[in-house]
Chains A and B, each alone.
Chain A
Amino acid sequence: MKKNDGEFSVPTRQSYVAIIMILFKTINIVFRQLIPVLVVILLGGSEKFDYILWVISVIALLSMIYAIVNFFRTYFYIQDDELVMHTGVFSHKKTIIPLERIQSVNFEQNIVHQIFDVLKLNIDTAGTEKNEFQFQAIDAQKAKRLREIIMAGKKVSTGIALNTFDENQPNKSAYKEILSLGFTDLLKIGLTENHIRSGGLIFVFFLWIYQNLQEAGLDVDEYSEEIPEWEWGINSIVLIVFVFLMISILISLGRTVIKYFDLQFLRFDNGFKIVSGIFTKKEVSAQDHKIQFISWSDNLLRKIIGYKNLKLHQTKASKANKSQLIQIPGCKAHHIQDVVDTIFDNKDINEIEVERVSFFYFKRFAMIWTGILTIVGLILLWFELYNQMWILTGLVIMMIIGRFLSYRKIAYGHDGQLLVLKGGIFGDKNTILPLYKVQTVKIYETPFLRKKSLCTLILRTASGQITIPYLPSESGRNLGDFILYKIESTHRKWM
């Protein structure tokens, strides 16, 4: 290890390619912010076109300067088993991470990275600090050597053999394939997304643009004058719903293919790994001990074709870093069984007895929302806003039905080792949490819950929290006591 140290003991910068990456990223962010403004200006009239060109040039120039300054002000070196990083464009920031605190070093490569043979580097640190470090582009060979040094440093200081990633493991046979998705699988997954939700999102997006245009003093209706008087009959509503559904289906198809292209879900000796992506090859690994809980779910459509979406929730190194979640769509029941068997030593999950939550979980919700609907509805009626009232009524009815379906599904139970939580609205959702992985236990009561001798139990884990709502007060407390007993009586590390 000492021998290799030399290379990084002097301040090392990123590859020059990083300038392009930072530039691209900056411009991307700036333009995303500006899209609504640009749309408004472009539609507003062409005499402002010169002005826009100026603004764009200035933004581009500033981004360029930013990228170059950023490049020269970002560098790192290793000193006394610590990784020292200098960052910051306007202010100078020096960050020191002891090598042993580094959780993992992850690589990412998109198409530009591939052309220049560089890697994007993410460094995850342990603990609750929200630090995560990223270098946009580092020479591939250099990056791999850096990872080796960091991992070697860890090995020395912790005495635990760490599982490093595949670049360091020449034999591919160490990996066993659990599942790989072909093109037809991707099509099926894309087609069975929750289209009502995505369609709704797109609808909201259009509304938002429409409002922005109006606020900019643009009379949108003026442009639609030529269109003959629109009959708001049942036909047009069906048409609109149909159009939004089609758009939503196309978008989710595209997204699915790009995100999960050539997905492989692999097992190595003490963990899982997924590789996927069309433009950007992405790799995420999860070692068994870092997985806090797992969950899988489906929806109405996926239920029919037997596809489930499996999630492995592993320790988050930082709040900002959500990429650590391993998500595998298109799992069949036997794949799930495989994973459950592997992680939880062939436990039969179905044998765990579960209990439903209180009926008040539905009733309370229904009453509160009926109350809100009545009040707001009356106000809307007063102002003769009939359309809005109907939309609101429809939404509230949908929410209440959703809550009822969810009430019928929610159930919890445990066998002394594993907690099972069931849920879902149209589909099914299952969560399995080993009791000793819980970090803190919280018992929560509103005045209503207290009156009905109910409580809500919140179990926080290192990968998010699990909530069991509206369970009998006594059960909640007993379950809490038992989980604490489990945590405090075992010396099994949660990670």
Chain B
Amino acid sequence: MKFSNEQIKSLQLPSIDVIEYEKPDIAYRKVLMYSVLIFAFVLLVGYFVVGYFAEKLLTLPILMIVMLTWSILTGLAIIFTVKSYDNLGYALRDKDILSKSGVFFKSIVIVPFNRVQHSEIEQGPIERLFGLAELTLFTAGGDDETISGLSFDKAQMLKNYITAKVAADEEE
């Protein structure tokens, strides 16, 4: 559908397709990988704990198959994580913020500043280790938009920028 409507034909609408996205901090890739590794490790420990009670699980052929599967799955998860890092991005515009994500199922979410109700900076334990943080924008639309992998200063800066924009909008 082309916008043949007279009212807007003359207007050059800014397009979301020509945006250059900023990448999350490179350390965020490590955060993602560590999260995967920790999860995989917890699974493995869980298996051994169960194995302690059901000794059959720890016999050699079964153990080898399990370890092999575990390594392959963990490897795949890490590859996927790296890929998903490559596909993350956000972009600030004058009046809204864009955030893209997804390896196979890609999505772009655009949050206009004049719809933001409030924003929050959060730091998980692994993120804190790397000095990273994530910024969540709350709108009345329910699903909240989170921009991950920002350095703490950057998150603070973004939050201030957005808060200022929201306030400016409310004044008008």
State the A residues within 8 Å of B (CB): 127-128, 315, 319, 355, 413, 415-416, 438-447, 450, 460-462, 464-465, 471-472, 475, 477-482, 484-485, 487-488, 491, 494-495
Once bound together, how far apart are the Cα atoms of A128 and B108, in whole Å?
22
**With A479-B1, A481-B15: A444-B140 Cβ-Cβ less than 8 Å:** no
Are the CB atoms of B144 and A481 closer together than 8 Å? no
In the complex, B112 has a CB within 8 A of chain A:
yes
By secondary structure, the A interface counts as: mixed
Once bound together, how far apart are the Cα atoms of A127 and B118, in whole Å?
9
Are the CB atoms of A442 and B108 closer together than 8 Å? yes
Once bound together, how far apart are the Cα atoms of A481 and B169, in whole Å?
20
Interface string of B123-156 (1 = CB under 8 A from A): 0000000000000001111111100000000000
8 A Cβ contacts from B30-84 to A: none
Once bound together, how far apart are the Cα atoms of A440 and B108, in whole Å?
10
State the B residues within 8 Å of A (CB): 1-3, 5, 7-8, 11, 13-17, 95-96, 102, 104-115, 117, 138-145, 169, 172
Are the CB atoms of B16 and A128 closer together than 8 Å? no
**With A440-B139, A460-B141, A491-B169: A482-B115 Cβ-Cβ less than 8 Å:** no
Are the CB atoms of A442 and B107 closer together than 8 Å? yes
**With A481-B13, A487-B112: A128-B140 Cβ-Cβ less than 8 Å:** yes
* Total inter-chain residue pairs, C-beta < 8 Å: 106
**Residue from B1, B11, B105, B114 in contact with A485 in the complex, judged by beta carbons closer than 8 Å:** B11
**With A440-B141, A488-B96: A416-B2 Cβ-Cβ less than 8 Å:** no
Which residues of B are found within 8 Å of A479, using beta-carbon distances? Answer: 1
Are the CB atoms of B1 and A355 closer together than 8 Å? yes
Which residues of B are found within 8 Å of A441, using beta-carbon distances? Answer: 109-110
Residue of B nearest to A450 (CB): B106
Once bound together, how far apart are the Cα atoms of A38 and B5, in whole Å?
65
Are the CB atoms of A439 and B139 closer together than 8 Å? yes
Which residues of B are found within 8 Å of A416, using beta-carbon distances? Answer: 5, 7-8
Once bound together, how far apart are the Cα atoms of A434 and B172, in whole Å?
21
- Give the Cβ gap from A234 to chain B, nearest Cβ, in Å: 45
Are the CB atoms of B140 and A439 closer together than 8 Å? yes
Residue of A nearest to B139 (CB): A439
Are the CB atoms of B1 and A478 closer together than 8 Å? yes
- Give the Cβ gap from A179 to chain B, nearest Cβ, in Å: 29
Most-contacted residue by chain A among B109, B112, B141 (CB, 10 A) = B141
Are the CB atoms of A442 and B109 closer together than 8 Å? yes
Most-contacted residue by chain A among B1, B109, B145 (CB, 10 A) = B1
**Residue from B7, B102, B109, B169 in contact with A440 in the complex, judged by beta carbons closer than 8 Å:** B109
